[in-house]
Amino acid sequence: MAETREAVIGRELVIIPSKTNIWLALLFGLLFAVGTAVGIYSFIAGHEHVYGITREVPWGILISTYVFFVVTSTGLCLTSSIGHVFGLESLMPIASRSVFLAIATIIAGFAVIAFELENPWRMAIYNIISPNPTSNIWWMGTLYGAYLFFMLVEFALLKLGHHRKAGLAGLMGVIAGVAAHSNLGAVFGLVNAKEFWHGPYMPIYFIASAMMSGGAAIIFFTWLAYKVNGWQMEPKMEKALQVTGKIYALLLAIVMFFTTWKILAGLAGHPPGKYEATMALIAGPFAFNFWFFEVGLGLVLPFIVILAVKARNIPAMAIVSGVALLAIFVMRYDLVVLGQLIPHYHGLQIVDMPHFYSYSPTFLEWLVVLGGFGLFGMLFFMGERIFKGHLDEH
């Protein structure tokens, strides 16, 4: 039987990740290099020549990928904080890896949106020397910057063994994360011209769906780390993932509730703009994305599996969590893109105005997206090697 990592450390041996771990880090690093090269090329050639975005649909798959990463990062922070910040002992073992994953995902998100912006360096400069407190996007950059700072401090303190101080830094990270993420929801929800987004629902939905994403990420990537490196999972870690699975199932039910009422609100009374977008989602060009990915793979399948195994079968929960993360990526794409496809003046029957705008990601856009995932994957597997499996004694 394979040894637990505590047994290995007890004999003062070094945990050496498998060669597979190293090769995967190199492979994802190559993807990141390709995505970076394409992103740099977009600066030179011009975004309008490289990406599929237009004046009518200015936010494409790079924005949705950014949203996917930062949503997952916030969810990782919030879910793991239940243990090391708010004192639930059974979730302590997931703290270190979850915080590291939160850092890796938000760095990947920043990398993707940097290539989406035509002049990302100006954003960093003018965010400081010319702030605009009335702008939700200014607050987004500022709050996520503070969130990343607190996550880095928390992770460093965890590695140094200062768990009480790490808990305080984690609490500050939670506050910054909730503020940043609800503000991200407001970036969409306060846009009056986009009826599919507009409303107070979005900030609340973003927080709930973030914790759902975080639960899936914790289960999948913890299991993946053990699987790739051939480690035997300790009883404490198994217990932590089982508790995480129950939290994940609860958040799935909450997001199902939100999704149901989002659809009903979009249909009842045929609200202009929102009704057309909702019909496109449930019975139009986005129907397959919605029913197969968002509902089927993203909500129903993991919920049923977790209930069926009573949150005890770690491999089964990990597999459906990985599938759900793919579905959540599609969910973010649908949210960002569909909200822009209905012309604001569609109800005026303007001559030559299309019923729907169109958008399709270009091949080069997909390469930048893969580059973002490459950066995350490289950081994840490098973290397993550098920090020796994130083994922390509590």
User: In terms of pLDDT, which residue wins out, 344 or 318?
Assistant: 318
Answer yes or no: is pLDDT of 100 > 50: yes
Delimit the domains of the chain by residue range.
Answer: 14-390
pLDDT at 124: 81
Provide the token pair at 284. 């139009």
**Is it the case that residue 391 has pLDDT exceeding 80?**
no
Question: Among 265, 223, 266, 261, which residue's Cα sits nearest to residue 245?
Answer: 223
3-state helix, strand and coil shares in percent for the chain, rounded to the nearest 5: 75, 0, 25
Return the half-sphere exposure (C-beta side, CA atoms, 13 A cut-off) of residue 98: 31
- Owner of token pair 């507009």: 198
Q: Are 20 and 380 in contact (CB under 8 A)?
A: no
pLDDT value, residue 16? 66
Beta pairing partners, 232: 4
- State the number of CA atoms in the 13 A half-sphere of 272 facing the CB: 9
- Classify the C-alpha dihedral 130-108-318-336 as positive or negative: positive
Task: Identify the pLDDT of residue 365.
Answer: 96
The answer to whether residue 216 scores a pLDDT higher than 70 is yes
Residues 154, 28: Cα–Cα separation, whole Å: 26
pLDDT value at position 393? 43
- Widest CA span of the chain, in angstroms? 78
Within 13 Å of residue 246, how many CA atoms lie on the same side as its CB?
Answer: 9
Distance CA 51, CA 58 (A): 10
d(CA 372, CA 108): 5
- Residue 232: strand, helix, or coil: strand
Nearest Cα to Cα of residue 108 among 36, 38, 23, 10: 36
Handedness of CA 253, 307, 322, 175 (dihedral sign): positive
Average pLDDT over residues 234-257: 94
User: Tell me, what's the pLDDT at 14?
Assistant: 46
* Amino acid code (one letter) for 289: N
More confident residue, 254 or 117: 254
The whole-number pLDDT of residue 84 equals 78
**Spatial contact of 193 and 56, defined as CB atoms under 8 Å apart:** no
**pLDDT bracket for residue 115 (50, 70, 90):** very high
- Say which residues have a Cβ less than 8 Å from residue 303's Cβ, sequence separation at least 6: 249, 252, 253, 256
Q: Look at 89 and 307; give whichever has higher pLDDT.
A: 307
> Residue 2: which pLDDT band, with cuts at 50, 70 and 90?
low
Predicted local distance difference test score (pLDDT) of residue 388: 79
Amino acid at 350: I
Q: With bands split at pLDDT 50, 70 and 90, how would you rate the model's confidence at 4?
A: low
The string of pLDDT tens digits covering residues 183-209 is 999 999 888 888 888 888 888 999 999
Q: Amino acid letter at 25?
A: A
**Ranges of H-type helices in 268-362:** 274-283, 287-288, 301-308, 314-341
Q: From CA 303, how far away is CA 280, in angstroms rounded?
A: 26
User: What are phi and psi for residue 264, nearest 5 degrees?
Assistant: -65, -40
Q: What is the mean pLDDT of the chain?
A: 89
Residue with tokens 């005026």: 348
At residue 7, the pLDDT reads 52
CATH superfamily entry for domain 14-390? Formate dehydrogenase/DMSO reductase domain (1.20.1630.10)
pLDDT of residue 243: 94
Residue 394 near residue 163 (C-beta atoms within 8 A): yes
Task: Tell me the mean pLDDT in the region 2-8.
Answer: 52
Specify the pLDDT at position 1: 46
Cβ neighbours for 267, distance < 8 A, ≥ 6 positions apart: 275, 278, 279
Indicate the range of 162-166, 249-253, 335-339 predicted with least confidence.
162-166
| CA separation for the pair 231, 380 (Å, rounded) | 16
9 has pLDDT over 70: no
pLDDT at 131 over 80: yes
H-state helical runs in 46-162: 47-50, 61-84, 95-116, 120-129, 136-160
CB atoms within 10 A of CB 119: 11
pLDDT at 337 over 80: yes
Any idea what DSSP says for residue 4?
B
Contact 232, 3 (CB under 8 A): yes
- Strand, helix or coil for residue 313: coil
